[in-house]
Structure 1
Amino acid sequence: MGPELPTEALSDEALLALVARGDEEAFRTLFRRYAGSFLALARRMGLDGAAGEDVVQEAMMRIWERAKEFNPRRGSARAFLLTIGHHTAVDEVRRRAARPVPLEPDPEAEEAFDLPGPGLDEEAHLDRARLHRALKALSPEERRVLETLYYQGYTHQEAARLLGLPLGTLKTWARKALSKLKEVLREP
């Protein structure tokens, strides 16, 4: 057998498979890759530093416990991990009965809300550029719906009330917006 690859060189999918078997080094690597994104997401949802750290810790515990549930046929490892981080942040917002702050352009926050990876490398820059292009493909109403649901952490009912939309309309716009994002992000 050849030498083993360092965990930093492994894909997220490979790391999740190792974590599912109890590999602590793989878990530490996932922590290094994703803790910053989880913390930035918590801040964008209105949580302070201590609450954000709680989100990171809880999200990582959930990843440790649920790594066996990851199925690459249902989506990417990145989507699996970021979904856990998002749900954990929403749970923390609700638990603390805090209301998130509105999403405002903030250059420092934009830098902090970076995609996971070893730093500001070319791939992360390209991912951010693709995401910004995809968001521009949405109508202002669709962007507002997604921001309210996913960045601010409101439920569908709360978002509909907040935006003054019928619940069915909000859900339709959200579904269409996510479908548009998916299509634009698939493009090379």
Structure 2
Amino acid sequence: MAEGREPPPRAELPELMERTARGDQEAFAAVFDAVSGPVLGVVRAVLRDPAQSEEVAQEVMVDVWRSAARYDPARGSVLGWALTMAHRRAIDRVRSEQASSDRARRVALLDHTPAYDEVVEEVENRLDRERVRRCLRGLTERQRQAVTLAYYRGLTYREVADLLSLPLGTVKTRMRDGLIRLRDCLGVTA
């Protein structure tokens, strides 16, 4: 409300709206003084955020100016009309903010969704490990020992030979035979 200016009596508001509809800026200033406070109060009650409330209240007052010609005194008071606009605009802002928040949440979930099904991957890994264990049990003790040292402990053929006190050729033969049996057992094609 402008300083030193009293809001007009409510009885004068319909006439002021008529003049506002014809572009009378002084009439709109009087309407503004009369309804902007209550408009801000309604908006603030819905939004609770002071900065957003002021923004929405300002938008409502611009709408009052632009749509003054649509005001119908037979359908209610100027204040009631403006407050209805304010309440609707505030609810629209809440819905818009909620939709924006929901979209952001969905995008965040999509960003964190793995490109594959982790459960299926884990089950397949367990089944593969079990098949390998079963096939390892099908090797001779010497083959299993050589394969285990080389593949599960990460030793070279030379290190396996030294650890088992065997010639390198013997370790290579055990490894080759053991790997062939594993390949056949697992159904791997060469």
Tell me the TM-score normalized by structure 2.
Answer: 0.44
* More RCO (CA 8 Å, sep 6+): 1
Higher helix share: 2
Give the structure-1-normalised TM-score.
0.44
Highest Rg: 1 or 2? 2
